[in-house]
């Protein structure tokens, strides 16, 4: 895949870049290693000062970087600006909380005495250069949620971004440079996916994090496992959105629309499978389909646009194949389902009903504005359908019954359970999944400690 900005609204190639050669990659790896030796010793206060400066610069750049993201991958420009604002907020959160999150921990005095020590503690120390392999769908946020905690922990970052968002990738390196971080603290590697293995095998790279597809995750995890290096993987999702009879149906249906089409439906944590109790199925479906039909689809740079194009021609083709397979196998199209004429990689908001387990869309992630509807008889069936997926990233449940809340928290196989609202990430809460959605956690204290050497310090009596 070429490293290029291709506008998904019209298919026009705007900028192309040459991939970095072996000599430049080597230079950057040497720089990362050298920078880490000194950066790791900086005080938290200094790291926080630099991170706050980077957040301030990002706020100042919000309009321009928002347009860049929209031009590169097609998200509505209002959502792009909101993504930039969210990144700045999270950078400040880590700047303000990293020191306490990584503070030394002292075991109970009785355990210290029992171990024969006069003193003992646990200290979190940085690992070194961390390789981040990041996707195009949230081209700022996916990187910042790795970079902010990694840099605040004293690590340095190497970014291999998706090849269709090179301008955003280069902007991120420049952002940290302008903020005053030492040269080499955060570097963008403009390389194709074929270069990842050799970089990851390099002894100077100590760990890796990947957000992306399941095949990409398997490939990175395989190499990292061979080299015995720590990895964090955030892969696909096919999140359930369960609606029970006690729910506020109007609100559940309204938020369901946003939950499905956020980022043009190209989000791992977007609700994709709508599992509705039979007692409220018809009422929910009527409102949900009406909301999907009412969405404004168009130029992602227009302020009124709610759904823009998919990020790539291949992505649209993959989505079409899932829909066509479902329809051929008996699914009912309640709205959408047909590619529009004209330029760009648009696909309409689509709702499919009468889904069966034999359909590909039941097993595979639909990465675009396509929702599947399931009618269930009771809570037990709702849990069964919700868990009938190889993924387990997050989940959404609408109920005002406390007993049902307890059951869903106990039984849903997912990294998060969001009640009476849609899944969203926040720096204070851990983010990640189970099953084929990956392992490890980003964000919160759990995320900042993922790439730390958790060190026992013991002093003899």
> Active-site residue numbers?
234, 268
On whether the CB atoms of residues 458 and 122 are closer than 8 A, the answer is: no
C-alpha 242/C-alpha 321 separation (Å) is 26
Q: Quote the tokens at residue 33.
A: 């290693």
Q: CA–CA separation, 403 vs 383, rounded Å?
A: 14
Contact by Cβ (8 Å): 161, 6: no
C-alpha distance across the termini of the chain, in Å: 61
Q: Count the neighbouring beta carbons within 10 Å of the beta carbon of residue 198.
A: 12
Q: Of 323, 266, 261, which is closest to residue 289 (Cα–Cα)?
A: 261
Tell which residue, 69, 104, 101, 103, has the closest CA to residue 84: 69
Percent helix, strand, coil in the chain, to 5, is 45, 20, 35
Distance CA(33)–CA(205), nearest Å, equals 8
Contacts of 175 (CB under 8 A, 6+ apart): 54, 57, 58, 61
Joined together, the tokens standing for residue 360 give 């590909």
Residues shown for the chain = 461
The DSSP string of 213-243 is: -HHHHHHHHHHHHHTT-EEEEE----EEEEE
Nearest CA among 149, 171, 176, 175 for reference residue 161:
171
CA distance 86 to 71: 19
Torsion angle of C-alpha atoms 127, 133, 135, 140, degrees rounded to 10: 40
Tokens of 79: 């959502």
CB 130 within 8 A of CB 206: yes
């Amino acid at each position: 895949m070429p490293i290029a900005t291709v506008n998904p609204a019209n298919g026009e190639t705007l900028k192309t870049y040459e991939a970095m050669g072996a000599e430049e990659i080597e230079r950057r790896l040497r720089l990362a290693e050298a920078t880490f030796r000194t950066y790791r010793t900086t005080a938290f206060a200094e790291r926080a000062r630099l991170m706050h400066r980077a957040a301030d610069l990002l706020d100042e750049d919000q309009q321009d970087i928002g347009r860049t993201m929209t031009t590169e991958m097609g998200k509505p420009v209002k959502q792009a600006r909101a993504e930039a604002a969210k990144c700045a907020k999270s950078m400040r959160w880590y700047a303000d909380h990293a020191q306490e999150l990584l503070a030394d921990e002292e075991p109970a005095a009785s355990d210290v005495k029992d171990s024969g020590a006069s003193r003992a503690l646990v200290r979190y120390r940085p690992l070194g250069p961390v390789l981040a392999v990041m996707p195009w769908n949230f081209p700022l946020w996916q990187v910042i949620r790795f970079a902010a905690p990694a840099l605040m922990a004293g690590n340095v970052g190497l970014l291999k971004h998706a090849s269709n968002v090179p301008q955003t990738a280069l902007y991120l390196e420049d952002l940290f440079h302008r903020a005053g971080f030492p040269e080499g603290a955060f570097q963008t590697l403009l390389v194709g996916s074929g270069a990842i293995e050799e970089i990851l095998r390099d002894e100077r790279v100590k760990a890796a994090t990947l957000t992306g597809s399941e095949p990409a995750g398997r490939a990175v995890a395989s190499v990292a496992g061979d080299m015995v290096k720590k990895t964090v993987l955030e892969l696909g999702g096919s999140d359930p959105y369960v609606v029970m009879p006690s729910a506020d149906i109007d609100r559940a249906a309204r938020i369901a629309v946003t939950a499905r089409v956020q980022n043009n439906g190209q989000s791992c944590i977007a609700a994709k499978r709508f599992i509705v109790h039979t007692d409220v199925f018809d009422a929910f479906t009527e409102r949900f389909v009406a909301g999907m039909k009412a969405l404004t689809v168009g130029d992602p740079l227009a302020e009124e646009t709610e759904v823009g194009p998919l990020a790539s021609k291949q992505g649209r083709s993959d989505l079409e194949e899932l829909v066509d397979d479902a329809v051929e196998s008996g699914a009912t199209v309640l709205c959408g389902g047909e590619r529009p004429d004209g330029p760009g990689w648009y696909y309409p908001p689509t709702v499919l009903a009468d889904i069966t387990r034999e359909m590909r869309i039941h097993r595979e992630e639909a990465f675009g504005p396509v929702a599947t509807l399931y009618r269930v008889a009771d809570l037990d069936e709702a849990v069964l359908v919700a868990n009938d997926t190889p993924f387990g990233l997050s989940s959404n449940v609408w109920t005002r019954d406390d007993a049902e809340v307890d059951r869903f928290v106990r039984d849903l196989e997912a990294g998060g359970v969001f009640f009476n609202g849609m899944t969203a990430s926040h720096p204070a809460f851990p983010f990640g999944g189970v099953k084929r959605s990956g392992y490890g956690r980003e964000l919160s204290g759990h995320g900042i400690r993922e790439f730390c050497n958790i060190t026992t310090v013991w002093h003899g009596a």
